[in-house]
Amino acid sequence: MGQRYILDTNTVIDYIGDKLPQDSALAMDKVVNDELNISIIVKIETLGFNGEDSEMQKLKDFLSLEKIF
């Protein structure tokens, strides 16, 4: 089993919105490929983000793939 991570809301939003610097985005790609966990609070806060429809759909799709606790 690989490393386990938990992310905060801003990290999720910035990662999905392609707003991270390239080196950070590459590190996040590795995190996402390991065992990523999202807290229910992060899910609620992320879904409360006021983004464009396309960005909100990407966030919903991302959250549906992650383990929520």
Using CA atoms, how far residue 43 sits from 3, 14, 51, 65, in Å, is: 21, 14, 15, 12
**Contact of 14 with 49, CB cutoff 8 Å:** no
pLDDT of residue 65: 82
- Can you give the pTM of this predicted structure? 0.82
For 18-66, the pLDDT digits (tens) are 999 999 999 999 888 877 788 999 999 999 999 999 999 999 998 888 7
Give the separation between CA 67 and CA 52, rounded to whole angstroms.
24
Give the separation between CA 66 and CA 69, rounded to whole angstroms.
10
Give the separation between CA 18 and CA 58, rounded to whole angstroms.
11
